[in-house]
A and B are shown apart, each in its own frame.
Chain A
C-alpha cells in the first residue's frame, strides 16, 4: 500500500498564489490519476481537480493541477487567492486494489 503526504497547513494572502503538494510514497505518481477535493467546515468534499489537471465545470480557472514524476508528487495551485478559498484540501489516488487520500492541507487566506 502507498501513502499520499501533504503539508499539514499553508497560508497566504489574498491575491497571491499558493501551491499544495501531494507526494506518493511508492509506485509512480503518473501511474494513476490524482484528484483534489475541497472541504469546507461541516460540508462534504467537492472536486476541484480530477485526472491530474482537469477542472470540473463551475470550478474557476484559478485552480490548476499538475504532476511531477521527478519528485513523484502532484500539486494543486490556486492563484488570485480569495478568502472563500479558505478550506481543507485533500489529494486522492488509487492503485489496483486500494483508494488512498492524503492527510489534508488546511489553507488559510489571511
Chain B
C-alpha cells in the first residue's frame, strides 16, 4: 500500500520560504507524477504543481514564479519550496501521487503551514 507523509515547519514568517518534504513508502517513485496541493482554511483545493519521475516539472501558472518542486529518488522523497510567502499562503499542504489522466490516487494526510510573524 502506497503511503505519503508530509514533513516540515508548521510556522513560516512572511517573506520567507516555505519548505516541505513528502516521503513515499510502499511503492515505486518511478512512472508517476508527484504533486503538491494546498487548501486554505475553510476553502477549496488548489493544485500547486508536480514533478515527473524524469525530473520534468509543471506548475500552476498563478504560483509559478515562486514555486520549485524537486525529487530525490534515492530517498523516495520530493520537496516543495514556495518563496516570498504571505498570510494568503496559510493552508493545509498535501502531497499526492498522480497517475493516468492526472488522477490523484494517493494523498498524504496533509500538514498545516501558517504564515505569521
A residues in contact (CB < 8 Å) with B: 1, 32-33, 35, 37, 39, 43-47, 50-51, 90, 92-94, 97-104
Contact = CB atoms under 8 A, between A and B. Distances in A.
B14 interface: no
22 contacts: A1-B61, A35-B101, A37-B104, A44-B96, A44-B107, A45-B104, A50-B105, A90-B45, A92-B102, A92-B104, A94-B101, A97-B58, A97-B61, A98-B60, A98-B61, A99-B35, A99-B47, A99-B98, A101-B37, A101-B46, A101-B47, A103-B44
Interface residues of B, number: 22
Contacts of A97: 58, 61
Interface of B: 35, 37, 44-47, 50, 58, 60-61, 94, 96, 98, 101-105, 107-110
A103 B110 CA distance: 19
